Structure formats: structure tokens, C-alpha cells
Structure 1
Amino acid sequence: MIEKSIKINGMNCNHCVMAVKKELSKLTLESAEVTIGSAKVVFDETKVNETQIEAAIVEAGFEVAK
């Protein structure tokens, strides 16, 4: 399992948090904790990769900070 913290730009309210949670829930993750401005995900790299996680965040309408 891999644990990854991701900084997310553009989030400013709980609606933003819910939008990211909704998109991440479509992936096979062990866990996902989303707060305003960040997400902490635990995943099995044989089932999902970082690119897919970042794409889900972008799909929710936000930008992954590099």
C-alpha cells in the first residue's frame, strides 16, 4: 500500500471537499481523507496509480499542486 498526501488548488468550501470525495470514490482506494486544500489517499498501486488519482481531482474541477 502507498500513502500519498496531495495538495489541491482551488478548494475553498465543504462543497469542494464533497466534489473531490465523489470523484475519488469512483476509484479503488483503501482510504481517502479530503480536507479543504488537500487529500490523503492510501491505495494499492496494482489497482490504481497516482495519475488516475490526479485525474479524478481534475475531473472534480480542481488543480493538483506540484
Structure 2
Amino acid sequence: MTETTYAVTGMTCEHCARSVTEEVTKISGVTKVDVDLAGGAVTVTSENGVDDAEVRAAVDEAGYAVAS
């Protein structure tokens, strides 16, 4: 298992967390998504790692942005 944490901007509520979780979970190999609203972080657990570009695209689809 691989765990990667991303800084995500714009999340303020549980709806935000659900939206990001729903989109990131669609990425092949992702087994778990944890959203820390207070810290503005999303931790992605996957079988063999995920492509950062896929995570960025999923977060973007949810309406938020991965910080550079």
C-alpha cells in the first residue's frame, strides 16, 4: 500500500469532503481517501501508488485544486 497526501484548496465543509472523496475514489487502485478539512489535506491510499495528474484531475472535477 502507498499513501500520499495532497494540499487541497477551497474545501470548507463536509459536502466538499464528500465531493473530493467521491471523485478521487474513482481512480483505479485507490483503496481509501481521507479528507482533513481543517488542515486542507487529502490523503490517498492506493495499491501501487497513483499518478499525481490523475489526483489533480479528480480534485479539479470536484471543484477544488491541489496546491502546487
- Shorter chain as denominator, the TM-score bin is 0.7 to 0.9
Structure 2: distance between partners of 1:14 and 1:31:
17
Q: 1:39 aligns with which of 22, 32, 42?
A: 42
Structure 1: distance between partners of 2:18 and 2:36:
9
Q: Which runs of 5+ in 2 are unaligned?
A: none
User: Is the aligned partner of 1:10 residue 2:20?
Assistant: no
Q: Which runs of 5+ in 1 are unaligned?
A: none
- Please state whether the residue corresponding to 1:61 is helix, strand or coil: coil
Identical residues among aligned pairs (%): 33
CA RMSD of aligned residues (A): 1.3
Ranges of 4+ aligned residues in structure 1 off by more than 2 Å: none
Give me the TM-score of the superposition, normalised by structure 2.
0.81
Paired position in structure 2 for 1:58: 60
Matched positions, count: 64
